[in-house]
């Protein structure tokens, strides 16, 4: 296919360079603005929102890859999936760090109690934990060692997506328009995996009976 | 006849650097320099490039004459933060939305109606709002229910001065407040999505003794000038010991009632927002702690600004209003 041919080694390399540049460049620009108090009235809130939304955007983008590769019959697209997933994790970590460093300002006792007591923070933290496991097992070596279990483990990206969506809609006061749109996008992307969910429920039911 | 001949080095009036440009020179250079590209991305920063006059094109404020409050050593939240970080869902739910969307807001003509269970109902025009009582500065802490706070020099007069003019009947137990309803001007009211799902107009209420407390202020200005649109022009309530959402903006009606009036956030989420909404570090919001707060002053990310939240936001003198009440249940 055309797109598959277009995506040769050097184009893939340069697109990856572009993704690196965009993610690192944009993030450092915004962090710099926040550091110099140039990010609106409350730089902490602005930064929390920026890192959170960026992580969600990247996660959704990452979930676009395999349906797109199938649809366009362009398997080289899969070469970007890990990179996007890792950047989703990086922004999610920046989100968590912003919360710990600048919102809670290192009041650790509060971090523990907030994660336990506040459901929307609990689900956000769970989502981050899943992404951490996926990031840790993303190198090729880990993939080889885990064998068939690797795919099983990485299917956890779907529950993570759901938790992120829940975290988002739960955190807002009443303006649910944007979180609702994000949930819609996520559901569309999950729809492409419906076979996986059907076989998972089948597996679950047969195990139980 | 005396004809003044300009010498060649005389500088003409039109060559003088505009004061706002002069005052902003470092800011402008900084913006053009190392944060250059970033500044272009952020809508709030475009004002720093305003080289053509004192006020950006948009909502006009005017200077007020008022009695200054003595400095009580609280660090004020800078004006640009007070006017660019607002919860005013009528103009959009993002903190930067009100400033962006309220610049064309028209407050002239304005009518504030004072009625209900009173001997003397009346209504006030825009000009009359500034003449009900002598204007005074009140430097108040504003504690948002979202756990951030500011220190703002309001200008206004006690609500009790207005109540005294209206002469509430003895049957009047509560005061109900209402914000302007004008979907043409307020995009949040025109669309259920942009307005955060609130059933407009925004309404608030106080018990009569709370309304008559000397701390309860009707503000018509801040930082020496009349209120900017995004801060609730032309007149708003300020109740410093309650969470910010009680301090209803852009008032068109104040009504004395015998029953506890409905209040907007309480209607929206009764388990999260009560009628009283007194600042209370011991009663958490169901989704977050209210024990501490982030004080917004100057400084970016690294300015350490977390402080303890105080009961009644530090205005302990109102505690007697609630003696005998269970503040955990009447949140």
Q: What is the pLDDT of residues A88-109, one digit of tens each?
A: 999 999 999 999 999 999 988 8
What is the phi-psi region of residue B277: left when phi exceeds 0, alpha when psi lies from -120 to 50, beta otherwise?
Answer: left
The ipTM assigned to this model is: 0.82
Identify whether the C-beta of residue A135 lies closer than 8 Å to the C-beta of residue A85: yes
CA nearest to B92, candidates B240, B243, B198: B198
pLDDT band, residue B43 (cuts 50/70/90): very low
> In the structure encoding, which two tokens stand for residue A189, read together?
């992307």
Nearest to B177 by CA among B113, B129, B130: B113
Which among B44, B269, B301 is the nearest to A47, CB-wise?
B301
Q: Is residue B9 scored above 70 in pLDDT? A: no
Average pLDDT, chain B: 88
Name which of B270, B311, B275, B269 is nearest B290 in CA terms.
Answer: B311
Q: Is B247 annotated as a binding residue?
A: yes
| B243-279 b/e (C-beta count within 10 Å ≥ 16 → b) | bbbbbbbbbbbbbbbeeebebbbbeeeeeebbbbbbb
Sign of the C-alpha dihedral, residues A95, A97, A101, A103? positive
Specify the pLDDT at position B304. 75
> From chain A, which residues contact B within 8 Å (Cβ)?
29-47, 102-105, 107, 110, 113-114, 117-120, 170-171, 173-177
C-alpha closest to that of B167 among B131, B129, B205, B212: B212
Q: Name the pTM for this structure.
A: 0.83
CB contact under 8 Å between B193 and A42, yes or no, is no
Are the C-beta atoms of B179 and B249 separated by less than 8 Å? yes
CA closest to A107 among chain B residues: B306
- Backbone phi, psi, residue B175, to 5°: -120, 125
Contact B301 A113 (CB under 8 A): no
Residue B193: its pLDDT value, please?
82
Domain membership of residue A122 as a residue range: 2-208
What Cα–Cα distance (Å) separates residue B270 from each residue in A175, B98, B276? Answer: 16, 25, 12
Average pLDDT over residues B295-316: 91
Question: Shortest Cα distance from A27 to chain B (angstroms)?
Answer: 11
pLDDT in tens, B61-97: 999 999 999 877 899 999 999 999 999 999 999 999 9
CB contact under 8 A, B306 and A114: no
Decide: B124 and B112 in contact? Cβ < 8 Å: yes
From chain B, pick out residues whose CB is under 8 angstroms from the CB of A124.
Answer: none
The mean pLDDT value of chain A amounts to 92
Report the 10 Å Cβ neighbour count for A69.
Answer: 19
Nearest-Cα distance to chain A for B82, in Å, is 7
Over the stretch B230-277, which tens digit does the pLDDT of each residue have?
999 999 999 999 999 999 999 999 999 999 999 999 999 999 999 999
Q: How far is B306 from chain A (nearest CA, A)?
A: 7
CATH code of B13-329, in short, is 3.90.420.10
Residue among B37, B146, B304 minimizing CB distance to A105: B304
Partner-chain residue, chosen from A38, A110, A119, that has the shortest CB–CB distance to B35: A38
- The CA angle A173-A179-A200, to the nearest 5 degrees, is 125
pLDDT at B2: 61
Element (H, E) at A115: helix A108-117
Look at the alpha carbons of B284, B286, B289, B293 in this order and tell me if their dihedral is positive or negative: negative
The two tokens of residue B146 are: 């979202």
Banded model confidence at residue B16, pLDDT cuts 50, 70, 90: low
Which of B4-13, B152-161, B184-193 is the most confident on average? B152-161
Side-chain-facing half-sphere of B32: CA atoms under 13 Å: 7
3-state secondary structure of A73: coil
pLDDT in tens, B95-151: 999 999 999 999 999 999 999 999 999 999 999 999 999 999 999 999 999 999 999
Cβ pair B306:A170 closer than 8 A? no
Of A40, A43, A176, the CB nearest to B301: A43
Strands B174-179 and B306-308: unpaired
Measured distance between the N- and C-terminal CA atoms of chain A, rounded to whole angstroms: 46
Here the tokens at position B96 are 């930067």
Q: How confident is the model at residue B199 (pLDDT cuts 50, 70, 90)?
A: very high
Spatial CA neighbour of B155 closest among B140, B144, B176, B141: B140
Closest-CA distance, B302 to chain A, in angstroms, reads 7
- Interchain contact B173–A (C-beta under 8 A): no
Considering only CA atoms, which of B199, B212, B93, B230 is closest in space to residue B163?
B212
Are residues A174 and B85, on separate chains, in Cβ contact within 8 Å?
no
Residue with tokens 């300002």: A105
CB B254, CB B112: distance < 8 Å: yes
CA distance A21 to chain B (A): 15
The share of chain A scoring above pLDDT 90, in percent, equals: 76
CA distances (Å), A172 to each of A94, A165, B58, B63, in order? 20, 12, 30, 37
The answer to whether B287 contacts A38, with C-beta atoms less than 8 Å apart, is no
Q: Are residues B300 and A34, on separate chains, in Cβ contact within 8 Å?
A: yes
Task: Tell me how many domains chain A contains.
Answer: 1
How many other CB atoms are found less than 10 A from the CB of residue A110? 18
3-state secondary structure of B41: helix
Q: What angle separates helix A194-208 from helix A177-191, to the nearest 10 degrees? A: 80
Using a pLDDT cut of 70, give the percent of chain B over it: 83
Is B268:B198 a contact under the CB 8 Å cutoff?
Answer: yes
């Amino acid at each position: 296919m055309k797109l598959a041919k277009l995506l040769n080694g050097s184009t893939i390399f340069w697109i990856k360079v572009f993704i690196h540049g965009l993610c690192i460049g944009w993030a450092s620009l915004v962090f710099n603005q926040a550091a110099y108090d140039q990010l609106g009235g409350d730089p902490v809130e602005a930064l929390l929102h920026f890192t959170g939304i960026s992580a969600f955007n990247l996660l959704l983008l990452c979930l676009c890859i395999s349906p797109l590769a199938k649809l366009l019959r362009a398997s080289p697209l899969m070469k970007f999936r890990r990179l996007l997933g890792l950047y989703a994790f990086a922004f999610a970590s920046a989100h968590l760090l912003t919360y710990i460093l600048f919102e809670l300002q290192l009041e650790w006792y509060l971090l523990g109690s907030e994660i336990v007591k506040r459901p929307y923070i609990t689900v956000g933290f769970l989502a981050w934990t899943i992404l951490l496991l996926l990031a840790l097992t993303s190198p090729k070596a880990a993939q080889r060692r885990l064998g068939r279990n690797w795919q099983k483990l990485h299917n956890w990206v779907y529950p993570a997506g759901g938790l992120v969506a829940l975290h988002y809609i739960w955190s807002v006061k009443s303006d649910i328009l944007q979180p609702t749109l994000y949930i819609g996008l996520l559901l569309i992307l999950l729809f492409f995996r419906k076979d996986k969910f059907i076989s998972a429920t089948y597996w679950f039911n047969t195990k139980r009976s | 006849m005396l004809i003044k001949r300009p010498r060649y080095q005389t500088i003409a009036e039109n060559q003088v650097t505009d004061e706002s440009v002069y005052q902003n020179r470092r800011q402008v250079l900084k913006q053009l320099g190392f944060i250059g590209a970033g500044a272009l991305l952020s809508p709030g920063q475009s004002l720093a490039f305003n080289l053509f006059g004192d006020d950006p094109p948009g909502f006009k404020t005017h200077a007020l004459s008022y009695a200054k409050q003595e400095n009580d050593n609280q660090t004020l939240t800078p004006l640009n933060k007070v006017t660019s970080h607002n919860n005013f869902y009528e103009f959009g739910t993002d903190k930067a939305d009100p400033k962006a969307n309220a610049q064309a807001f028209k407050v002239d003509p304005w009518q504030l109606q004072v009625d209900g269970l009173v001997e003397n109902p009346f209504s006030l025009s825009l000009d009359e709002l500034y003449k009900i009582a002598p204007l005074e500065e009140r430097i108040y802490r504003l504690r948002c229910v979202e756990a951030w706070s500011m220190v703002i020099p309001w200008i206004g007069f006690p609500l009790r001065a207005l109540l005294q003019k209206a002469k509430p009947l003895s049957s009047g137990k509560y005061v109900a407040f209402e914000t302007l309803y004008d979907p043409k001007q307020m995009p949040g009211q025109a669309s259920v999505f942009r307005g955060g799902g609130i059933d407009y107009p925004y309404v608030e209420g106080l018990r009569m003794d709370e309304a008559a407390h000397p701390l309860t202020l009707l503000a018509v200005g801040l930082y020496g000038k009349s209120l900017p649109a995004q801060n609730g022009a032309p007149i708003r309530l300020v109740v410093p010991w309650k969470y910010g959402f009680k301090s209803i903006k852009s008032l068109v009606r104040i009504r004395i009632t015998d029953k506890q009036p409905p209040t907007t956030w309480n209607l929206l989420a009764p388990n999260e927002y009560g009628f009283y909404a007194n600042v209370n570090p011991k009663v958490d919001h169901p989704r977050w702690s209210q024990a501490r707060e982030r004080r917004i002053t100057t400084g970016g990310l690294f300015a350490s600004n977390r402080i303890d939240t105080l009961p009644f936001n530090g205005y302990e003198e109102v505690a007697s209003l609630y003696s005998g009440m269970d503040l955990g249940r009447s949140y």
